[in-house]
């Protein structure tokens, strides 16, 4: 059973006491979270940890996920792509109808009672039409800085009905949105299986199981197989590095989730690329790569890549930095908040720059260690779950007031 006291050795007693004092003000309050999937993405990972932590603080928190068919999740992935800037996406009348019909069905089977109800991302957004009381918050985890207006505008009408909308970055907030807004960074749990400390021998066992050589440098990227994460771009960077450091290996880790029908297509593209290059390992949850294995691989990385073209925030960057690994990433989404150029890693504008910085870090391991240690400190101060639960408590108090 997770307890807030367990984090004192990481973030300090004073932060833990501050959280407990805030929680006392809303003790016994009911909070409901709804998202699209129970696994396979950053939202699910955060909820999987923050719900038990909230319960340990005597908050009646629950988490529910949508039921939908393949057509529904194909439509919502199109929405996701449109909101992240794909101007070529069009949602037809029949698709809109199926979207709203599916959410209406879910409104009849989900428990939407709560002092605060938090709806995550576009998939369950229309549930606001079936509210049964309480204050409602919509949490957007994606990059909406340049959305496709034909999809965004109809959804905006729904967002305006919420009491508050939460975004990861200020530039994601539409200028025409007249509801209350909040900026809140996603966070990771340092005690979760995916992030907790593990021994070198355990790390080597995982690497050996998948044929990765622990004695040779490893470049890695973790993220879904989709066009926005640019897995092929990570492979291209590796190809350039391999031309200069022939011993380098690439580990590309992704996962399949029920709300992402594009996953198989991009996995197949990655596998086709890997077939042309030696020392590329493309691994997924279907290969038995779970949270523990991801942890082991990330800790074994000499350098982590995040080649995203669009990124809501980029929790895989947070994870790598927490493990003392420098990150080379694009300037997409929340990556620049985490990758402080020249301090916790490097921000790059193209594949060639990415390869040059990777070669630099592989040739200067002392520099990689220094940037990695800086990254760990940066995450401790800004992106751990204790910060996340504190922000949720403050939002709750602001929406419903203090418990008498």
Cα separation of 42 and 20, whole Å? 26
Where do the domains of the chain lie, and which CATH numbers do they carry? 4-187+384-400 (3.40.50.2000), 200-382 (3.40.50.2000)
Q: Is the pLDDT of residue 93 over 70?
A: yes
Arithmetic mean of pLDDT, 14-24: 96
Arithmetic mean of pLDDT, 190-214: 97
| Tokens at 146, concatenated | 């340049």
Arithmetic mean of pLDDT, 337-358: 98
Give residue 209's pLDDT. Answer: 97
Arithmetic mean of pLDDT, 244-266: 84
Q: Is the pLDDT of residue 176 over 90?
A: no
Report the percent of the chain where pLDDT is more than 70.
98
Closest among 165, 201, 166 to 313, alpha carbons compared: 166
Q: Is the pLDDT of residue 301 over 70?
A: yes
Question: Which residues, at least 6 apart from 59, have a Cβ–Cβ distance to it below 8 Å?
Answer: 23, 26, 27, 28, 29, 31
Helix, strand, or coil (residue 379): helix
Give the confidence band of 273 by pLDDT, cuts at 50, 70, 90: confident
Give the confidence band of 320 by pLDDT, cuts at 50, 70, 90: very high
Give residue 274's pLDDT. Answer: 86
SS3 content of the chain, % helix, strand, coil (to 5): 50, 15, 40
Q: Please, what is the end-to-end C-alpha distance for the chain in angstroms?
A: 28
Arithmetic mean of pLDDT, 177-181: 91
Give residue 277's pLDDT. Answer: 83
Give residue 258's pLDDT. Answer: 60
Give the confidence band of 256 by pLDDT, cuts at 50, 70, 90: confident
Arithmetic mean of pLDDT, 140-149: 93
Match 């805030």 to its residue by tokens. Answer: 22
Q: Is the pLDDT of residue 1 over 70?
A: yes
pLDDT per residue as tens digits for the range 73-90 = 999 999 999 999 999 999
Q: Is the pLDDT of residue 404 over 60?
A: no
Asked if 85 contacts 148 with a C-beta cutoff of 8 angstroms, the reply is yes
Give the confidence band of 191 by pLDDT, cuts at 50, 70, 90: very high
Arithmetic mean of pLDDT, 233-253: 96
Average pLDDT, the chain: 94
Cα separation of 116 and 163, whole Å? 10
């Amino acid at each position: 059973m997770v307890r807030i006291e367990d984090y004192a050795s990481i973030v300090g007693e004073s932060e833990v006491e501050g959280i407990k004092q805030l929680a006392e003000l809303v003790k016994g309050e009911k909070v409901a979270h709804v998202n699209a999937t129970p696994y396979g993405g950053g939202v699910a990972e955060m909820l999987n940890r923050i719900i038990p932590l909230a319960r340990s603080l005597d908050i009646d928190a629950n988490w529910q996920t949508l039921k939908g068919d393949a057509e529904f999740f194909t439509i919502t992935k199109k929405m996701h792509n449109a909101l992240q800037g794909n101007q070529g996406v069009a949602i037809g009348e029949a698709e809109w109808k199926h979207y709203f019909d599916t959410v209406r069905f879910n409104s009849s089977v989900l428990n939407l009672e709560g002092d605060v109800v938090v709806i995550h991302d576009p998939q369950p957004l229309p549930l606001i039409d079936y509210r049964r009381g309480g204050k409602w918050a919509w949490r957007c985890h994606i990059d909406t800085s340049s959305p496709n207006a034909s999809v965004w505008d109809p959804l905006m009408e729904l967002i305006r009905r919420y009491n508050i909308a939460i975004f990861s970055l200020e530039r994601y907030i539409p200028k025409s949105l007249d509801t209350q807004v909040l900026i809140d960074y996603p966070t990771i749990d340092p005690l979760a299986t995916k992030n907790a400390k593990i021994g070198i021998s355990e790390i080597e066992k995982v690497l050996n199981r998948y044929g990765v050589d622990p004695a040779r440098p490893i470049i890695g990227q973790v993220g879904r197989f989709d066009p926005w994460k640019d897995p092929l771009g990570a492979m291209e960077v590796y190809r350039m590095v391999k031309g200069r450091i022939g011993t380098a290996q690439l580990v590309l880790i992704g996962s399949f989730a029920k709300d992402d029908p594009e996953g198989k297509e991009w996995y197949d593209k990655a596998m086709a690329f890997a077939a042309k290059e030696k020392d590329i390992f493309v691994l997924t949850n279907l290969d038995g790569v779970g949270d523990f294995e991801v942890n082991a691989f990330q800790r074994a990385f000499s350098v982590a890549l995040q080649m995203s073209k669009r990124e809501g925030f980029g929790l895989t960057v947070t994870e790598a930095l927490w493990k003392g690994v420098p990150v080379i990433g694009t300037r997409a989404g929340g990556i620049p908040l985490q990758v402080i150029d020249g301090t916790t890693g490097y921000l790059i504008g193209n594949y060639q720059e990415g390869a040059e910085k990777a070669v630099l870090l592989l040739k200067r391991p002392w520099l990689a260690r220094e940037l990695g240690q800086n990254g760990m400190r940066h995450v401790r101060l800004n992106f751990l779950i204790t910060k996340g639960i504190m922000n949720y408590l403050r939002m709750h108090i602001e929406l419903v007031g203090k418990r008498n």
